[in-house]
Structure 1
């Protein structure tokens, strides 16, 4: 992408703001070097990494702090003879320690995600200088010096140096005390001069203390004298310090060797730290302007919702936020013609579109709302501002034409073109015709474009040309001041005279201009003002509707949350009550029948409480009666209570029931429980779905088939069936238990007799199943 385009869109200024949010100078330099990416897959990958960085930063999983630039160290690692000095080793150790912390923080899944995120996979997959980092951690002290334990030689020599230091202090103290030299000394301590231990002697006592004079203080009042008894000890100390330096040099050479062996890993780790610092800066920028990551993919639709210019957002004073615009082009629209008053925001709209596109293609967040999307533009060409050049003898018009001629061969379907007052600076009629022709040519090439204009012909073009969408910047009808809000599918007046009045042009000149305008007969201001008023009213109504929708959604969500909490609390109470009943039964304090009755009472309490929570079911408009006579045999219908489709096998018009086949099971179903296939019955706003596999519907009541089940399984199925029937409000049930030995029938009757919600039960007539089925009536 052309650097000229990025400069006109003020992309470098955005990068500078981004650089200010980086923790380190290397990352800041990397931020300033960001450019749009040339592949849509790369953009998607950068956005995925940024999305994860946003979550990690907000969760404070890792926080960046300044770290040094390691680039100057890499030539040293490439050299066979050069060795890293202590400062370089400290810088390397600091960077590797930060990378180690980064690996610990990001190498694990975030928010319980499976195996590893994209960013986590990158971090864990980056080569790691394990030996170098471990050696530097062991050898470098927090104050930046080498630890005594770095090598046995260094440990030994430093121990001896400390011993000599203590010896010197003791000897000096003894010497001063024996000879009563305290009044002669400037201070009562030993100091160092020329890297040797000396005594600070007052200048007026010169000669009283035999020894070697090393230096004088700046005021001349103090002489630094090395007593003769310290000479030998100081000489030994110098030898030890030389040995210390040699031992330190060997340690640093060893550490440098490790770093050279792991040069590739060190470079990869350093680059990773810089890249992650840049990612965290992007995340900080996103939070700073409340941005999002727009979808960048194929297609032609532009949908930047609540888009704002990033520099205006970041520079906005408190209480003066940047005005958001919806920049929208449908899939079949390729051009946006923006009209309206001078200084009304047309150019800002164009810059916002171009800048946000460049940012999105660079993997940066953009100040726009969720759901925003952009096509993948490989090229962006911009014609903004006054391009006049005195050095090249170019007028504004000539400069625009020369620039367009230069880039014209490169414009294709993956190009975004921004035209600000293109065609100005020449005869208006010819300029407007040329502008329309250029827009036609761009559309023929499949390019996407946005143009700001005052040409009446181009305004009409925006309303009439297929694939082109017109929009205008609104202004306040009362004050004639711009509102910086975009209204679509209409054009706006330029209101040049009002702008001139606002900026102080004398009134007599404005009156004369108005008379010329009336004489010319081209004043369409009243029409445009009326259109502006209508558009403004529509925008205000849409905003009010949107605000009400937000309030209503919040209210509904609050009700749902409260309902869920109440239901959860109720279920937990019922569970605790059931557990208590079971415990009492197991402890022998409740008999089996008493426990069953208590559990049944608990289920009834749950049903009653659920009804209280949900409230009365809303009455629905009565559905059209299901005409069984018109349904042919073999047709498919819906069994409402079971929410399953069935095939009609027989019809009994007298009983108003049909025998249907549901998955191989034949059942008689009342017409009240049938509906045309594809319709769903609802109760209280909730679709009724059958959960018991042995349930069916017959004659308006529920049927439970427990034939062939063991007694304990049958009991569980039957209790669940009764609970379901009570919840659905069914009064009559049919239980098919079969004849057999009669054991299952007796168990069913025993359970029904103890159930508190069963009014009566009896065996079915012979034509309905006889003693193989029990008919039940509920309270």
Structure 2
């Protein structure tokens, strides 16, 4: 594996987004991209993951965007299947690794943090290996896993020597374990001595009956007037001077010895820490890269959890810049209150002009388009519907001013125009431009003219534009210019409030007259105002009103058609269900007829078996050779062919289709079609073959001969011994296992088995009867001696059962 420095990786990411960052640095703040990053930050648990997020920028390279989105998609799949990749809280170890590189020693806490990185590496590896065993497909996850280096020996050494809190454990070295044992013994001896004082006759000289520490030595509190009673060393006194903390003479030597052990412990810990620090040096690059990959996984986890909470999706990438965000929502708004809208640009039109009054949601729509595009180009999931499409733009420009915000200072005409001039100097055919209230802040006629000129210039440069405006002149512009469409935000005149729904193809209109009328303004005043309007404006408003009425009619017809389609679909499903019922009933009737016929044939077979048996007896008694054994077998086979196969389940196309869709698993109850018997799946033994428990038998059955059925409650009782048959080819095994069976049942099964083996054409079979008491073996031998079809028999070879099995050869 080729490792690389974390600085190199971060630098590559920064370079990928360099163009967008340098030319359009303010776009991230304008569209509040950094607020989205703050939302994601709450899901991160590692310092490296936070570093990954800090350097996150929208990029314009197709392959980079694709890989980012694939990583997000992988993480969302892991979250759905297993609750996310197991990443614990991990601190940044970059400084630690720098220090050991120059020969410094790490403390216990720092080594514990590195140990956590190695432990997490092993846990993540194990976690992802389970997905590999299940053959779960991922786009990028396994590639990142391959970059992890396990380092098991180093991990075990650190884990045994350093605990989670950074304390050096007793297992770090035998010397340390011995020293700590001596410390414990010394402390115990000192305490026993001092406990004897504070609980004995000398306790009256103490100000308190307790043992405490001063200067890392055990002492007792003695009254000032009794300082000479105990001898020893005074280490401290109380603030009043009435109590002295004295180390009695009888424990001075013990304290000295304890202190020596403590110094030895400190030196041994320092030696261990130095040794462990040095052991990390050869693997420092691998450890650093492990930390980087874990940070990547943490960041992927955060994106997946962000997507889950926002019900976000991974958008499809459309390199032709056909943007279609289905039911898009602004990620920073309350998701329970925000109105979702279909936002599209690029395929049928490259410019969208949104008109209508204030507070209708025009600016939010503009910001939603820009922010979701930036999020997509940064590899983040977007709050939109499935199959949403994003484009790839080299630049995203925005002139969005909040007219109620004095701090932004973007509501004056001059500030707007300064931004617009800068945009026009940089824009190209791969740019997305967002203008809020284009041409506002000046004379309406001049502003409208400027807005049209700016839109024409952007159209000439083939840029993608979404602009909002109040000017009625731009409503006509949307009809006259190619690749341009009008849009508006719906307004409910009944409630006098906006619905925040985006209407593509319908320009906005002023609702002043209607609102005034509903608020009680005299109709004569409204009529007078209408007469003052020029004819063009009135015609335009009438045209917009007519369009809105037609849209509502179309919506009504659409809903009505959907209702008819739904009813037709239901009728179709009912017919399909009725047809299936009819087909199954027909097959059941056929099955009953076949079963009845089979009963008749079965009676005939029994009679024929009796006849054949009598013929054999006559032949044996008379010594005639006119009737050959193979002729008798052939006659019996022909009689068996008279039986009608009850294959109605096999021919039932509906059930067969359901069977193909069913994925079998161990424990399922199935119908073994060739035998029309219920069984239980035990284990898959091949690509298309299962081992099935069929009554007392275990059989190897092809998957195409199995039919899934509803489980039934099994009767309680002791588990019976089973025999194994193989259903591939003739459905008769070359071996019969009689062990554990009653004597009469075993001989009856042996009789049936030999007939079946002869009909299958086997020259030789094996009967497993076990050793036991020998009764079953003797019964088998007696039966084989009397069977006219048996040529000879003998014990099986030692490696095939010895005298626990018998090999039978047929004539």
Partners in 2 of 1:169 and 1:566 — Cα distance?
A: 93
Partner of 1:228 in structure 2? Answer: 249
Shift of 1:190: 3.5
Shift of 1:121: 1.9
Partner of 1:199 in structure 2? Answer: 220
Partner of 1:480 in structure 2? Answer: 496
Partners in 2 of 1:213 and 1:408 — Cα distance?
A: 86
Q: 1:110 to 1:566 in 2, by over 3 A?
A: farther
Q: 1:262 to 1:474 in 2, by over 3 A?
A: same
Q: 1:48 to 1:187 in 2, by over 3 A?
A: farther
Partners in 2 of 1:605 and 1:132 — Cα distance?
A: 61
Shift of 1:283: 0.5
Q: 1:392 to 1:351 in 2, by over 3 A?
A: closer
CA contact (8 A) 2:649 2:655 kept: no
Partner of 2:175 in structure 1? Answer: 153
Q: 1:120 to 1:607 in 2, by over 3 A?
A: closer
Picking from 516, 520, 526, the partner of 2:533 is 520
Shift of 1:360: 0.2
Shift of 1:288: 1.0
Q: 1:119 to 1:243 in 2, by over 3 A?
A: same
Shift of 1:330: 5.4
Shift of 1:241: 1.3
CA contact (8 A) 1:211 1:226 kept: yes
Partner of 2:430 in structure 1? Answer: 414
1:240-279 aligned at under 5 Å gives the runs 240-279=261-300
SS at match of 1:353: helix
- Does 2:501 correspond to 1:491? no
Shift of 1:232: 1.0
Cα offsets for 1:184-243 (capped at 9, x unmatched): 556665432221122344678655433323234578786432111111111111122111
Partner of 1:454 in structure 2? Answer: 470
Picking from 43, 50, 63, the partner of 2:86 is 63
SS at match of 2:453: helix
Cα offsets for 1:297-332 (capped at 9, x unmatched): 3113121111111111xx24xxx4311111123524
Partners in 2 of 1:202 and 1:363 — Cα distance?
A: 74
Cα offsets for 1:342-392 (capped at 9, x unmatched): 211111111111000000000000011111112211110001115999999
Cα offsets for 1:57-98 (capped at 9, x unmatched): 222253333222223324313323x22122211222223322
Partners in 2 of 1:396 and 1:511 — Cα distance?
A: 37
Partner of 1:135 in structure 2? Answer: 157
Partner of 1:336 in structure 2? Answer: 352
TM-score by length of 2: 0.65
Q: 1:551 to 1:358 in 2, by over 3 A?
A: farther
1:291-690 aligned at under 5 Å gives the runs 291-312=312-333, 315-316=334-335, 320-329=336-345, 331-385=347-401, 396-495=412-511, 515-516=528-529, 518-521=531-534, 522-523=537-538, 524-525=540-541, 527-539=543-555, 542=558, 596=641, 599-600=644-645, 602-604=646-648
Cα offsets for 1:101-129 (capped at 9, x unmatched): 22221355368336875212212223455
Partners in 1 of 2:649 and 2:283 — Cα distance?
A: 72
SS at match of 2:181: helix
Partners in 2 of 1:607 and 1:436 — Cα distance?
A: 71
- Does 2:217 correspond to 1:165? no
Shift of 1:15: 0.9
Shift of 1:39: 0.7
Partners in 2 of 1:184 and 1:164 — Cα distance?
A: 25
Partners in 2 of 1:393 and 1:475 — Cα distance?
A: 29
Shift of 1:251: 1.0
Q: 1:550 to 1:368 in 2, by over 3 A?
A: farther
Gaps of 5+ in 2: 1-19, 610-635, 659-703, 705-727, 732-811
Partner of 1:648 in structure 2? Answer: none
CA contact (8 A) 1:83 1:256 kept: yes
SS at match of 1:311: coil
- Does 2:57 correspond to 1:41? no
Partners in 1 of 2:27 and 2:49 — Cα distance?
A: 24
Q: In the comparison of the two structures, how many residue pairs are matched? A: 598
CA contact (8 A) 1:487 1:539 kept: no
Shift of 1:530: 4.3
Picking from 18, 25, 37, the partner of 1:3 is 25
CA contact (8 A) 1:199 1:226 kept: yes
Q: 1:595 to 1:476 in 2, by over 3 A?
A: farther
CA contact (8 A) 1:107 1:116 kept: no
CA RMSD in angstroms comes to: 4.5
CA contact (8 A) 2:44 2:298 kept: yes
TM-score by length of 1: 0.67
Partner of 1:213 in structure 2? Answer: 234
Partners in 2 of 1:592 and 1:224 — Cα distance?
A: 110
Partners in 1 of 2:580 and 2:220 — Cα distance?
A: 83
Picking from 39, 42, 58, the partner of 1:20 is 42
Gaps of 5+ in 1: 615-690, 692-712, 717-779
Partners in 2 of 1:150 and 1:567 — Cα distance?
A: 76
Partners in 1 of 2:570 and 2:265 — Cα distance?
A: 72
Q: Please, which moves more after superposition, 385-394 or 299-308?
A: 385-394
Partner of 1:83 in structure 2? Answer: 105
CA contact (8 A) 1:421 1:452 kept: yes
SS at match of 1:262: helix
Shift of 1:557: 9.2
Partners in 1 of 2:218 and 2:90 — Cα distance?
A: 38
Q: 1:460 to 1:594 in 2, by over 3 A?
A: farther
CA contact (8 A) 1:202 1:222 kept: yes
Partners in 1 of 2:223 and 2:160 — Cα distance?
A: 46
Q: 1:212 to 1:430 in 2, by over 3 A?
A: same
Partners in 2 of 1:53 and 1:381 — Cα distance?
A: 31
CA contact (8 A) 1:397 1:426 kept: yes
